[in-house]
Structure 1
Amino acid sequence: MHFRDRGVALYPDQSYDQHGCHTGVAVVEGEKLNLLYTGHLVCEPDSGYPTKVLAVMDKEGKVEKKGVVVDYNPKHYTHNMRDPVTFCRGDDYFMLIGAESHEHQGKLALYHGKRIDDFQYRGEVDIGLSEFGYMWECPNYYEDAQNGVLIFSPQGVSSESKYDFNNVFSVVYMVGKPIDTENNKFEHHGYFELDKGFDFYAPQTYCDNEGRRILVGWLGNSKSEYPTDSNYWAHMLTLPRELKIEGNKLLQIPIAELAKLRSSNEELTAQHQLKSPAFELELEVGSSFSFEFANERGDTMTFSGTEQEW
């Protein structure tokens, strides 16, 4: 729950990442941390193309960049090809990369390697969705027992329902069989939105030292304006959640460590003045309910529901 600032680990200081170090994944191996990330290379003013770069961090936090392990694939994809995530099968490494086809359809590119610094293109993973947004950004994939869980952000998806896909870019997940890497296929039970919040994006998951699957998301997005933008400060990480699989759904549970941050409790009244800006609310409601938050400036936020609408 508490973090220390250890400085900047990755600077855009090489030819292959001079236009920026973007999203990737960290893979623990022994005493080192392999950082696989998206590097943007400038090929002419105001343009560039993506590469997948490996850097290695030691226990002291020193980082050594090893160079490009997957180059841009212009034959199959546009410059929208980024955000690698890896998983292992025995001694084999597999990498998934979010991509956009030249027909402007979201794709999931699959790469294979015997070493973490050497990958070859294996094609696209068929997830049974031919038209589902123009770009599949920030994929995350893990396997738990007999299940494979794929999380990604399909850009360009909308819905006529006022409850679905209302974010700038939404996040979905699928629970199914582990990815068939021989036939490039992921069989699943359908997709579900992971979070309805407007500031939830690009989640990453990892397995902690207690065996829990922990999810942390990006609280923000690159397309919205924020009050702190003028101060060159924007966005943060969400509170960590523990993920559990139940049937074809993911259960998301605030991690137990949050309870240690509780300092006091209060009984609610009809008009209640909160003493702290950080709080948890526990209620029992009937068939309908409504409650409102307000501050001294007159800003309000209302939560309500009925038997027909929760």
Structure 2
Amino acid sequence: MNTEHMPSYDQTAQLAKAEAGVDQLFSQRNDRWYPSCHIASKGGWINDPNGLCFFKGRYHAYYQLHPYGTQWGPMHWGHVSSEDMVTWRREPIAMAPSFEAEKDGVFSGSAVISDDGKLVIYYTGHRWRNGVDEGTEGNLQEQCMAISEDGIHFEKKGVVVPCPDDRIPHFRDPKVWKQGDTWTMVFGVCTPEHRGEIWMYTSENMVDWTFVGPVYKHPDPDVFMLECPDMFPLGDKWVICYSAMGLKPKGFESRNHNNAGYVIGTWEPGQPFRQETDFHLWDDGHNYYAPQTFQGPDGRRLVFAWMSPFTSPIPMENDGWCGQFTVPREVELADDHLRTQPIREYAQLDQNRKDFGPITLEVNESRTLLADAATADIDLEIDLAHSQAERIGLELHRTANGDHTLVCYDDQLQRVVLDRHCNSYGDRGYRTAPLDRSDGRLKLRIIVDHGSIEVFVNDGLEVLSSYSFPAEGAREIRLIAESGEGQAIINSLSIAGLATIWEHPDRN
């Protein structure tokens, strides 16, 4: 363990300063789009989920936090916890930069439980080589370790995996797990040749780490970095996931600034990973990045991701906060790809569910379902076999000026579409998800929060997650059918409101 660059200034003082920064932003926060049923910092910028775990009877979700502004800046670790993943409590900020190896940011990482019952965090210590910014000299990044007895307070142990080559510009985001008697670490690397790879290290004691080699090399020469990698077993397969920097759009695929996805294959310790599927996006929406999975105490594989506001304009930057998580999702293997859908506990947030179906709409008919719905949990099933409308779906966040986000089935594309072209605030554009029409029906579950929409297609075989910033006034939900040769047939439709996830909503 390298303790050469251990604390150079008071960690306690840095944490107190960061808390004050968040409180200052919170005191001025505009809540017009602030989520009530998604995790977000009460003030400041957040990005990647970090250190997801179940420890001493509580779920812990840490996250990248800039506590002094609503744009990306020097990273800290924010923290929330929950007994049930439904009701969350804000915890003190867990880590702030406090020694040389991390002076410009406590970057992303993961958590494991040691054999003696302590919570161990592995994370990336970040500093700029030129002392100012990435510039032409790049980043100096090393993997660090911290230990906690309670999940709240951490003792930093310094660098455990130094950067092995000064020519490496990106070297970060460790994910650690134990297999047998061996601890394994993977993280993302941009090689000196500017190719994206995932490297693997192993350890017997959690401190001394040995380089095994690259476990995955991205085949695309445009992909220069694989951020936030994860590697986990599911059924009889292994999944490697990563957020690909430099991946170019192709048709409907990979339309975002950076894109998070996965490949599935087989792997045994000491053997190469054998890829069996193509790269598949975790989520087809505008705003999904940096997913991290963990195993719950009941054995479920669970995942959070960051709803990333990469594309300007980002209107919530002006509101004292920026960024939120997706809802927590369960991960299952579905043949050659993954199925993800809201954790079963999420239904506990439902309030006053109202049944609207079945419904038949005539050509170009629309119908207001709710006049004002700030949040909603919607279940919708469309009869594709007997419907003849070209588009069938829901206008969400519809305001008096006509702004709305459309979620629909598009018969010309034969895909599910999330379309924001009618919005006054934020980025516009549309995203689509592929659809298997073989059983003649389409099931959608749609989670609507104050500024976001998540669409789960056919029990989570595909998902679209996007920000949607409604204009002022009541937020209507409207059912629509557009054009075509005949009716739109809705087999079932129900909508519930959603309770807040916060234990103390008046202080959040």
TM-score normalised by the chain length of structure 1: 0.91
Give distance in 2, aligned partners of 1:177 and 1:91. 20
CA offset digits 1:110-149 (Å, max 9, x no partner): 1121121111222212457353611111101111342111
CA 1:18–1:93: 2 relative to 1, 3 Å? same
124, 133, 139: which one aligns with 1:38? 124
Say yes or no: does 1:25 pair with 2:110.
Answer: yes
Give the counterpart of 1:59 among 134, 150, 154. 150
What code does the residue aligned with 2:171 have?
M
Show the 5 A alignment for 1:69-80.
69-74=160-165, 78-80=168-170
DSSP 3-state at the match of 1:296: coil
Aligned positions of 1:143-162 closer than 5 A: 143-161=233-251
Q: 1:221 to 1:100 in 2, by over 3 A?
A: farther
Structure 1: how far apart are the matches of 2:405 and 2:324?
A: 22
Per the alignment, residue 173 of structure 1 pairs with 262
Q: Say yes or no: does 1:301 pair with 2:405.
A: yes
Structure 2 runs not aligned, ≥5 long: 1-85, 134-138, 357-365, 416-508
Deviations 1:189-214 (A, max 9, x none): 22211101211110111111121111
Alignment of 1:65-104 (within 5 A): 65-74=156-165, 78-104=168-194
SS for the counterpart of 2:286 is coil
**1:135 corresponds to which letter in structure 2?**
M
Superposed displacement of residue 221, structure 1: 4.4
Contact 1:127 1:186 (8 Å CA) reproduced? no
- Quote the Cα distance in structure 1 between the aligned partners of 2:305 and 2:122: 18
Greater Rg over alpha carbons, structure: 2
Residues 296, 263 of structure 1: CA spacing in aligned structure 2 closer, same or farther, 3 A cutoff? Answer: same
Aligned to 1:2: 87
Which secondary structure state, in structure 2, belongs to the residue aligned with residue 140 of structure 1? strand
Partners in 2 of 1:83 and 1:57 — Cα distance? 19
Instruction: Select which of 196, 199, 205 maps to 2:287.
Output: 199
Q: Which amino acid letter does the alignment assign opposite residue 49 of structure 1?
A: L
Shift of 1:283: 2.5
Matches for 1:250-265 after TM superposition, within 5 Å: 250-265=338-353
| Kept in 1: contact 2:235–2:333 (CA 8 A) | no
Q: 1:247 to 1:284 in 2, by over 3 A?
A: closer
Q: Which residue of 1 aligns with 2:299?
A: 211
After superposition, where does 1:124-135 map in structure 2 within 5 Å? 124-126=214-216, 129=219, 131=221, 133-135=223-225
Deviation at residue 266 of structure 1 after TM alignment:
2.8
The answer to which structure, 1 or 2, has the higher relative contact order (CA under 8 A, 6+ apart) is: 2
Residue-pair matches, total = 307
Percent identity at matched positions? 24
Q: Which residue of 1 aligns with 2:442?
A: none
CA contact (8 A) 1:23 1:37 kept: yes
- Give the deviation of 1:7 after TM superposition: 1.2
The one-letter amino acid paired with 1:270 is R
Partners of 2:195 and 2:231 lie apart in 1 by 20
- Call closer, same or farther: CA 1:271–1:127 in 2, change over 3 Å: same
How far the C-alpha of 1:157 sits from its partner, in A, is 0.8
More divergent stretch after superposition (37-46 vs 58-67) = 37-46
Question: With structure 2 as the length reference, what TM-score do the two structures score?
Answer: 0.57
